[in-house]
């Protein structure tokens, strides 16, 4: 079977990537809309970017209103600013939220209407040039053809996927991630780990996506605990930034599966950070997946060095599952209960969450494909796990 592999037109990685990017950005247009959040402004990350834009004489307008995971109203507002300020290209700087918002604003600016109507829509018209600058080592949005926006009318996290959402230029400078606090570092790092595991075990995986997925899993196992406990380790931060990029490339081509499918409804309804809800789900979902993906999980055990000679493939798969659950324990992932999710609301919403998970299409890529009843049972198991840990 043939497979098409998508990546951004250009990717610049390493320290001073922003400076280097200016030789490309100067050709993108006359005025950029910079989409970001207030933290990027107060941390000085925005200034690092605008100093460089000033130096090449490129104008810009700033929209720093993405102060939570993005909603449809934030995108509508951003489109108004883009059009009202005469911008002709866009830069997203921040975590996945500002980068996804920037891509969604570009999509609507070119294709019209409201982002609420974009679920499953093919983007007919090309987007203006887009630049992604991640400051978390997490979503990989810098190099994915995906944007995730919550429709707050329906409480659904819409998964928009279209090749036109791929950035023209991704600029990955790991220095930006040095200021991420431990909670953000872990949640975003586990998001990247989940992308890589899901891409590798997806029914849509193929040899080229596997290379990126395995490389990302290996780097994350080596470095995530270090960046959690010693955030100023530049080398470990750099490895994580590369891993997140690789994991993004892997899943953008091979798709995510059950964890992401089940995680988005939790995020939409209970406002738990995306990476955190992935981390919470990882254990129960890996145990569910195992019988359908023994060979793949055993392959990952070999990659991270927990496979021992003489083990059967199933023992190898078990070794990977327990290495992952052990790692998550050391990262002190908060449970649903610790995130103050009310029990009655959670149980009442299980049928809706299961339906929304399936409707996103992601669970269908899982090698052991779940039914609605099985997803509902997994949500219950997730709750029970939190009770046991209390």
Ligand X SMILES: NC(=O)c1ccc[n+]([C@@H]2O[C@H](COP(=O)([O-])OP(=O)(O)OC[C@H]3O[C@@H](n4cnc5c(N)ncnc54)[C@H](O)[C@@H]3O)[C@@H](O)[C@H]2O)c1
The residue with tokens 């959040």 is: 37
Identify what 176 binds: ligand X, Fe ion, none; CB under 5 to 8 Å per kind.
ligand X
Number of residue whose CB is nearest Fe ion: 191
Identify what 179 binds: ligand X, Fe ion, none; CB under 5 to 8 Å per kind.
ligand X
Among 50, 147, 280, 349, binds ligand X (CB under 6 A): 147
Let me know: does 132 contact 141? Beta carbons within 8 Å: yes
Among 8, 140, 370, 386, binds ligand X (CB under 6 A): 140
Least Å distance, CB 179 to ligand X, is 4
Nearest to 82, CA basis, from 106, 101, 53 = 106
Gap between the Cα atoms of 111 and 124, Å rounded: 7
Stretch that binds ligand X, among 89-97, 313-321, 368-376, 378-386 (CB under 6 A): 89-97
Gap between the Cα atoms of 28 and 119, Å rounded: 28
Gap between the Cα atoms of 202 and 365, Å rounded: 5
Gap between the Cα atoms of 9 and 25, Å rounded: 13
Strand, helix or coil at 247?
helix
Decide: is 65 part of the binding site for ligand X (CB under 6 A).
no
Gap between the Cα atoms of 271 and 277, Å rounded: 9
Identify what 146 binds: ligand X, Fe ion, none; CB under 5 to 8 Å per kind.
ligand X
Gap between the Cα atoms of 203 and 118, Å rounded: 25
> Residues 97, 100, 106, CA angle at the centre, nearest 5°?
135
The residue with tokens 């049972």 is: 377
CA distances from 35 to 31, 49, 214 (A): 13, 12, 32
Least Å distance, CB 276 to Fe ion, is 11
Among 173, 191, 198, 210, binds ligand X (CB under 6 A): 191
Q: Which one, 58 or 101, has the nearer CB to ligand X? A: 101
Q: Which one, 37 or 210, has the nearer CB to ligand X? A: 37
| Of residues 149-178, those binding ligand X (CB under 6 A) | 176-177
Q: Which one, 173 or 191, has the nearer CB to Fe ion? A: 191
Identify what 360 binds: Fe ion, ligand X, none; CB under 5 to 8 Å per kind.
none
Q: Which one, 259 or 321, has the nearer CB to ligand X? A: 259
What residues make contact with ligand X under the rule CB under 6 A? 37, 39, 43, 69, 94-97, 100, 135-136, 138-141, 144, 146-148, 176-177, 179-180, 184, 188, 191, 248, 274-275
């Amino acid at each position: 079977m043939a497979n098409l592999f998508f990546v951004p037109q250009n990717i610049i990685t390493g320290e001073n990537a922003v400076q280097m990017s200016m030789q490309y950005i100067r050709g993108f247009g006359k005025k950029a809309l910079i989409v970001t959040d207030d933290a990027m402004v107060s941390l000085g990350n925005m200034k690092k970017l605008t100093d460089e834009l000033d130096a090449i004489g490129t104008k810009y307008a700033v929209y720093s209103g993405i102060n939570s995971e993005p909603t449809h109203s934030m995108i509508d507002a951003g489109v108004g600013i883009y059009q009202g300020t005469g911008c002709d290209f866009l830069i997203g700087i921040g975590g996945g939220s500002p980068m996804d918002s920037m891509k969604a604003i570009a999509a609507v600016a070119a294709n019209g209407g409201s982002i609420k109507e974009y679920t499953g829509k093919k983007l007919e018209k090309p987007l203006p040039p887009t630049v992604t600058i991640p400051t978390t080592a997490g979503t990989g949005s810098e190099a994915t053809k995906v944007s995730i926006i919550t429709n707050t009318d329906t409480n659904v996290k819409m998964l928009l996927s279209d090749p036109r959402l791929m950035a023209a230029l991704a600029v990955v400078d790991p220095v930006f991630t040095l200021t991420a606090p431990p909670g953000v570092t872990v949640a975003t790092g586990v998001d990247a780990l989940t992308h890589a595991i899901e891409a590798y075990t997806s029914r849509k995986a193929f040899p080229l996506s596997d290379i990126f997925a395995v490389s990302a899993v290996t780097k994350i196992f080596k470095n995530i605990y270090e960046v959690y406990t010693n955030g100023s380790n530049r080398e470990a931060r750099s490895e994580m930034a590369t891993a997140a990029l690789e994991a993004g490339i892997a899943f953008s081509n091979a798709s995510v599966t059950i964890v992401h499918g089940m995680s988005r409804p939790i995020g939409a309804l209970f406002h738990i950070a995306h990476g955190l809800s992935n981390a919470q789900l990882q254990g129960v979902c890996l145990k569910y997946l195992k019988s359908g993906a023994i060979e793949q999980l055993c392959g990952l055990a070999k990659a991270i060095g927990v496979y021992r000679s003489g083990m059967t493939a199933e023992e190898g798969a078990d070794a990977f599952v327990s290495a992952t659950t052990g790692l998550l324990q050391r990262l002190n992932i908060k449970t649903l209960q610790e995130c103050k999710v009310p029990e009655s609301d959670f149980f009442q919403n299980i049928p809706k969450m299961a339906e929304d998970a399936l409707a996103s299409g992601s669970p269908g890529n899982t090698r052991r494909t779940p039914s609605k009843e099985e997803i509902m049972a997994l949500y219950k198991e997730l709750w029970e796990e939190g009770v046991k840990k209390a």
